Structure 1
Amino acid sequence: MNSTDSYYPTDDYPEPLEDPGALLCSLQEVRQFSRVFVPVAYSLICVFGLLGNTLVVLTFAFYKKAKSMTDVYLLNMAIADILFVLTLPFWAVTHATDTWMFSNAVCKLMKGIYAVNFNCGMLLLACISLDRYIAIVQATKSFQLRSRTLAHSKIICLAVWVVSLIISSSTFTFNQKYSVQGRDVCEPRYQSVSEPLTWKLLVLGLQLMFGFLVPLVFMVPCYLLIARTLVQAQNSKRHRAIRVIIAVVLVFLACQVPHNMVLLVTAAQMGRAGRTCHGQKVMGYANNVTEVLAFLHCCLNPVLYAFVGQKFRNYFLKIMKDMWCVRRPKAAGSSCARMYSETFASRQTSETADDNGSSFTM
């Protein structure tokens, strides 16, 4: 949502700089860096994000029935991440060619899908942390509470998608294809409103709030309380569970804090006089690097929230075996035939087992 183009002068409102030759400030160096770094990074994120999240969806579709709230959240988060990474090739092409090659309708659609699914993924992280808190810290009360909540799981997830759509509605409204300095861009344009600066700050504020602050407010307290509860518990797996929690929080902070700091600086400098050309170049580089780091989180979500658990790893191995056996004849007595005969029994066993699934102690 915030590419290097955000730092190029546009005709939406003036970009006052301190330098006497402000209008001659060239960001060509930033563009050259962007043409190489961003397409490669986005392509890798798209491939690995698509692979990991597709495996999560396939696991739920064919191997593991979503029986807990965390399972439902994980499935929806994987779908959101898949839709999100599918937009990255468009931005990779745009950075590589330094122009938006597609139509205005595609511009609005890609920006909208991009925003909705990113916000949805962030909100689902908050939901997962709250569900883990209820399941582990409030264990004595969680059975009845979670059983009632699970009955409304589809409503809760639908509400998350609707909220994400509402807070991303400005993306569909303001983003459009237009020409800047002889090149087509797909960026927000606020000429149709009376207070463009106010709208820019509002959109940026919503992105900061729902894309960072809301999940942060839920994740840090919930996981701290979960860690304290596990420390006090007499459980042989508690140390591993605590390490997973620490990894979840640290990865979130490492991926999201740098880019959101850049967004805060952008908001503070927006419309302000006294900026230097060197400062704008630094912000351009910082925005590219930190945005890629933020998007990397969608590749790590399947590892942190799904495949870190023993059950999901077992299902992953089953997927690999099934893909191998598809190419091999299932003769009587073969390993593939035995595996297929055991598949239904193993699934029934897993579904009748403790369904407090996807917890940190699996």
Structure 2
Amino acid sequence: MTSIDDIITPMTTEVPFSTEDYDYNYNDNFTSLMCDRESVRVFRSQYEPPLFWIITIVGGVGNLAVVWIYLNVRKRLKTMTDMYLLNLAVADLLFLVTLPLWAAEASYSWIFGHTLCKINSALYKVNLFSSMLLLTCISVDRYIVIVQSTKAQNSQMERRRCSRLVCAAVWLVALLLATPELVFSMPTSVESKYYCRMVFPAYLGNRAKILVLSLQVSMGFFLPFIVMAYCYSVIGFTLLNTRNFEKHKAMRVILAVVVAFVVSQLPYNSMLVMETAQAFNLTETDCEKVKAMDKMEQVLKSVAYMHACLNPFLYVFVGVRFHRDLKQLLHCCYCLPLPSKGSLGKTRSPLNSTRVSVMSDSDNSQALSL
């Protein structure tokens, strides 16, 4: 599991690396200081498990509802955004599957073996990267549909076919970026307990840790943030200069998406940037500061993970179509009465019919909020 306390740099020893020696054949930037991190482990054991389970349950329910609606209610993906949102829900679900294992590790120890350590670490990173890249794809698709609406209308079928290739490319890139976790993750012993961590061989030096952290920060935050910031800025400018458009509703959706992404991801990735810089110079020598950073990292990491709970509400459940589909899903599960056809099929006024409403079923509306 990638974190400040979990990415381990190798021992500066001439002994060749061996997985048979991993009990104590590892250290981090501060082991030489004999810094006792027992308080950090106690904090993690009390803080992470309940929060991780809450994130898993809430995010699981929301994302399962999205998958169920797409596969059983709609049964057809009409737009590129539909394809991206379905893949995003799957990525979030696979990411949430890893959290109970990390919660169990925090409470007790890593008891799931060597192979599952590698698989869980790689699965966590695959879905971290795929989620962020899919959010990037959604912002680009919204940009094309809103800012280049004529081009988007003329190439709907082509873009729909292209979305499958884009999703396949996203998963492939995420798999490649998760290769270090699959190769170097293993259970390591700390005071009679085992933790699933990345352990790098001595010949790689500190470069491996710097590379892993740099990839996570650049591909998992900065690239998506730059693309999203540009796309949504242009979209917002376009909406503000468009007549007969429900601008306020659309701008609230855009603002919610950007704020949620920045608030959840920026603090944790800023901490990872600090960790990367520290891996270059190894200047921190205060044990108390080290432990304070570790605890802060645990808190910020949990905040970043909450984005998996927010995605269904930010990107899916704000739209009229999904409100209707969700009611149909609840009707099937709990035998709730469905709204009358009259309420669902009310005729629009001539003024409303000419609007490209952010809450309508048009391709333009799906580019903002389904």
Equivalent-residue separation in structure 2 for 1:4 and 1:264 (angstroms): 10
Does residue 360 of the first structure (1) align with residue 365 of the second (2)? no
Equivalent-residue separation in structure 1 for 2:41 and 2:173 (angstroms): 35
* Farther off after superposition, 231-240 or 215-224: 231-240
1:130-188 deviations in whole A, cap 9, x for unaligned?
Answer: 00000001112111234312122211111110011011111100101232332211100
For 1:360, give the aligned amino acid.
L
Residue 217 (structure 1) aligned to one of 226, 234, 257: 226
Contact 1:68 1:356 in 2 (8 A): no
Question: Matched residue of 1:157: which SS?
Answer: helix
Residue 112 (structure 2) aligned to one of 90, 102, 111: 102
Does residue 31 of the first structure (1) align with residue 12 of the second (2)? no
For 1:38, give the aligned amino acid.
E
Equivalent-residue separation in structure 2 for 1:161 and 1:2 (angstroms): 19
Aligned to 1:205: 214
Aligned to 2:358: none
For 1:69, give the aligned amino acid.
M
Question: Matched residue of 1:187: which SS?
Answer: strand
Contact 1:306 1:358 in 2 (8 A): no
Contact 1:237 1:361 in 2 (8 A): no
Equivalent-residue separation in structure 2 for 1:58 and 1:14 (angstroms): 44
Aligned to 1:332: none
Gaps of 5+ in 1: 329-334, 347-352
Contact 1:108 1:172 in 2 (8 A): yes
Aligned to 2:6: 6
Aligned to 1:66: 77
1:291-346 deviations in whole A, cap 9, x for unaligned?
Answer: 00000001000000000111111111111111112xx9xxxxxx67x98xx8xx99
Equivalent-residue separation in structure 2 for 1:49 and 1:16 (angstroms): 36
Contact 1:309 1:360 in 2 (8 A): no
1:203-247 deviations in whole A, cap 9, x for unaligned?
Answer: 111111111011111100000000111111113421110011011
Residues 14 and 2 of structure 1: is their aligned pair in 2 closer, same or farther, counting only changes over 3 Å? closer
Equivalent-residue separation in structure 1 for 2:282 and 2:2 (angstroms): 19
Equivalent-residue separation in structure 2 for 1:86 and 1:159 (angstroms): 23
Between the aligned residues of both structures, percent identity stands at: 34
Residue 204 (structure 2) aligned to one of 195, 202, 227: 195
Contact 2:239 2:245 in 1 (8 A): no
Aligned to 1:291: 301
Residues 154 and 236 of structure 1: is their aligned pair in 2 closer, same or farther, counting only changes over 3 Å? closer
For 2:2, give the aligned amino acid.
N
Aligned to 1:242: 251
Equivalent-residue separation in structure 2 for 1:204 and 1:37 (angstroms): 24
Contact 1:8 1:27 in 2 (8 A): no
Q: How many residues align?
A: 337
Residues 198 and 209 of structure 1: is their aligned pair in 2 closer, same or farther, counting only changes over 3 Å? same
- The within-5 A match list for 1:37-52 is 37-52=47-62
Does residue 228 of the first structure (1) align with residue 237 of the second (2)? yes
- The within-5 A match list for 1:1-362 is 1-3=1-3, 5-6=5-6, 11-13=25-27, 15-16=29-30, 22-23=33-34, 25-64=35-74, 65-97=76-108, 99-191=109-201, 194-270=203-279, 272-325=282-335, 354-356=362-364, 358-360=366-368
Contact 2:121 2:182 in 1 (8 A): yes
Residues 7 and 148 of structure 1: is their aligned pair in 2 closer, same or farther, counting only changes over 3 Å? closer
Residues 139 and 256 of structure 1: is their aligned pair in 2 closer, same or farther, counting only changes over 3 Å? same
Contact 2:187 2:196 in 1 (8 A): yes
Residues 14 and 207 of structure 1: is their aligned pair in 2 closer, same or farther, counting only changes over 3 Å? closer
1:113-136 deviations in whole A, cap 9, x for unaligned?
Answer: 111011000000000000000000
Contact 2:62 2:309 in 1 (8 A): yes
For 2:229, give the aligned amino acid.
V
Gaps of 5+ in 2: 10-23, 346-360
Residues 14 and 141 of structure 1: is their aligned pair in 2 closer, same or farther, counting only changes over 3 Å? closer
Equivalent-residue separation in structure 2 for 1:357 and 1:160 (angstroms): 24
1:222-278 deviations in whole A, cap 9, x for unaligned?
Answer: 000001111111134211100110110011000000000110111111261442101
Equivalent-residue separation in structure 1 for 2:176 and 2:237 (angstroms): 36
Contact 1:120 1:164 in 2 (8 A): yes
Question: Matched residue of 1:63: which SS?
Answer: helix
Contact 1:7 1:284 in 2 (8 A): no
Residues 5 and 311 of structure 1: is their aligned pair in 2 closer, same or farther, counting only changes over 3 Å? same
Residues 8 and 199 of structure 1: is their aligned pair in 2 closer, same or farther, counting only changes over 3 Å? closer
RMSD: 2.3
Aligned to 1:331: none
Superposed displacement of residue 358, structure 1 = 2.7
Equivalent-residue separation in structure 2 for 1:84 and 1:56 (angstroms): 15
